[in-house]
Amino acid sequence: MDAKLQSLKFDANGLIPAIVQDSSSGEVLMMAWMNKEALEKTLQTGKTHFFSRSRNKLWLKGESSGHVQHVKSVTVDCDADVLLVKVAQVGAACHEGYESCFFREHQTGEPGADWKVVGRKVFDPEKVYG
């Protein structure tokens, strides 16, 4: 890993949050964790790789669904502890079938306010994941 990547501030578990944004629309698609290996693979392959905390392993976005992310740029914030990854998304980013993982919005200010689905569903997860 080059010196610039070494200067990134990974947490105590060796992880750094990665916010993924659509490079064309600017929509925030998801947030996931990267370790150094995931970041290196992302930079080498041009496709996003992340670290799953629940499965304790590396994963390629779209390895099951085919909904990969082609990396356009990777930037780091001023504190060097958060990454912004701009991508060209193939299909949907969310495993629930929506374009973005941020598909629910709280209806603040309305009586009995609750979460409302505001995102566009792109695929049926049952058909993709079984």
CATH number at residue 74: 3.10.20.810
Which pLDDT score is estimated for 130? 85
Residue 87: domain span: 3-95
Q: 74 in a domain, yes or no?
A: yes
Tell me the pLDDT tens digit for each residue of 34-67.
999 999 999 999 999 999 999 999 999 999 999 9
Q: 102 in a domain, yes or no?
A: no
Q: 65 in a domain, yes or no?
A: yes
Q: 33 in a domain, yes or no?
A: yes
Q: 107 in a domain, yes or no?
A: no
Q: 73 in a domain, yes or no?
A: yes
How many domains does one find in the chain? 1
Q: What is the pTM of this model?
A: 0.92
What is the 3-state secondary structure of the chain?
A: CCHHHHCCCCCCCCCEEEEEEECCCCCEEEEEEECHHHHHHHHHHCECEEEECCCCEEEECCCCCCCCEEEEEEEECCCCCCEEEEEEECCCCCCCCECCCCCEEECCCCCCCCEEECCCECCCHHHHHC
